[in-house]
Amino acid sequence: MSDFDVVVIGAGAAGLFCAGAAGQLGLRVLLLDHAAKVAEKIRISGGGRCNFTNREALPANYLSENPHFCRSALAQYTCGDFIDLVRKHGIAFHEKHKGQLFCDGSSQQIIDLLLTECERGGVTRRQPCGVKAVRAVDAPTKGGHRFEVDTDQGVVRTGHVVIATGGLSIPKIGATDFGQRLAQQFGHRIVPLRPALAPLTFDATQWARWVALAGVALPVTVTATPAAPENAKGKHKVKPVSFDEDLLFTHRGLSGPAILQISSFWVPGQPLTIDLAPGIDLAAALREAKQGSRRQLSTAWKDALPEAVPQRLAQAWLHDAATRHPALQDTAAVAELKDKDLDALGQSANAWSITPSGTEGYAKAEVTAGGVDTRELSSQTMESKLRPGLYFIGEVVDVTGWLGGYNFQWAWSSAMACARAIAAGKP
């Protein structure tokens, strides 16, 4: 049986960072992971370049049943702090847009940074090494050991256990519900889990008329009305949420940044509203085209749409509209069409209402929403309020960031808050 000050379970972004930080703060740290490869989720992130943070990361960019929980950790260790560490390691990076920072090279650079930080902290890493059980010691030993961790490589005694096992997203690289099950073992409530930042799918019959558009992309504004908070009372009004991003048609539905973002807010059974021409009142533009115009509708429609709308989509949209409004034929003279038909065409593209049947699930979800209820954790330290010495960090917690580096920043911030708290309160 071996002894450590801290045992971190999960060698992803949060676990690696927490282990390295704790080690450099003078703690004896053991890092465990059941997977053979380290940090696979980092490796595949950001198209292989790792969108490692966002310059604009604020509490408002995170979802949680307890929305103020993330404030303390984000303030303790900011995006600027991690950017400074990236610079310290000599990693070149660039901003893509909206504050999203990517490595100029590859995601491996961030993995190497984290491994180097662990080496500098003298972290013992055992991988692959499964955890069979975590047991609380009723009467802590003289050395402050409050837990026994039963692993594939023997039993470890420790005063602090940090759970950084993530969510269910991308099971092919080893995602499991270990962290959630362990939390329940110690009496914690789990906010129901669901795929987030995921492509949306549609009923095959409903989607048949759009399948031919697979591969078409364009900038849109997409809007959804999220569910009311669990503790909402009376006439609580939920404000719609909108994102201005690119949309991508697929064979099964919709994807692209706009859809991934809105998927975290979408409530099953509820429609999305998508504006294919943000900032342009298409109905007004078509009515204006009637004045003294001899153009055919197909030409007026093309002229009204922004250049970013692909021709394939413009034509398909007009043909689909004609199935409901027979007057809207390609060759119809726009000057002879009724305003009500032109309004219907314009509004159908400015406020396309469509109801997804589901998401592509955990296989393609970038993160998992839900997790350990944060009302049972300290926002300053990530420590359990139910079991002293037990901590939860990163994606396993009910804190889910927007697309664009926000989830990595939560990993860094929650990990550092945890490491510093353990070092400050070590028996």
Per residue of the chain (427 residues), give pLDDT as tens: 689 999 999 999 999 999 999 999 999 999 999 999 999 999 999 999 999 999 999 999 999 999 999 999 999 999 999 999 999 999 999 999 999 999 999 999 999 999 999 999 999 999 999 999 999 987 666 566 899 999 999 999 999 999 999 999 999 999 999 999 999 999 999 999 999 999 999 999 999 999 999 999 999 999 999 987 766 555 668 899 999 999 999 999 999 999 999 999 999 999 999 999 999 999 999 999 988 778 999 999 999 999 999 999 999 999 999 999 999 999 999 999 999 999 999 999 999 999 999 999 999 999 999 999 999 999 999 999 999 999 999 999 999 999 999 999 999 999 999 999 999 986 5
Q: What is residue 244's predicted lDDT score, i.e. its pLDDT?
A: 97
- Tell me the C-alpha distance between 177 and 155, whole Å: 22
Q: What is residue 363's predicted lDDT score, i.e. its pLDDT?
A: 96
* Cα end-to-end distance, the chain, whole Å: 20
Alpha carbon dihedral 368, 374, 375, 376, in 10-degree steps, equals 110
pLDDT in tens, 64-93: 999 999 999 999 999 999 999 999 999 999
How long, in residues, is the chain?
427
Q: What is residue 236's predicted lDDT score, i.e. its pLDDT?
A: 62
166 token code pair: 């993530």
pTM: 0.95
Q: What is residue 156's predicted lDDT score, i.e. its pLDDT?
A: 96
63 token code pair: 């979802």
Q: What is residue 94's predicted lDDT score, i.e. its pLDDT?
A: 98
- Tell me the C-alpha distance between 339 and 359, whole Å: 37
Backbone angles phi, psi at 157, to 5 degrees: -105, 140
78 token code pair: 């900011």
pLDDT in tens, 200-255: 999 999 999 999 999 999 999 999 999 877 665 556 688 999 999 999 999 999 99
The tokens 């504006």 sit on which residue?
Answer: 275
SS3 99: coil
Q: What is residue 142's predicted lDDT score, i.e. its pLDDT?
A: 58
- Tell me the C-alpha distance between 370 and 361, whole Å: 14
Q: Where are the beta strands (DSSP E) in 164-235?
A: 190-196, 200-201, 217-224
Alpha carbon distances (Å) from 253 to 98, 204, 215, 308, 404: 26, 9, 11, 20, 22
Q: What is residue 117's predicted lDDT score, i.e. its pLDDT?
A: 98
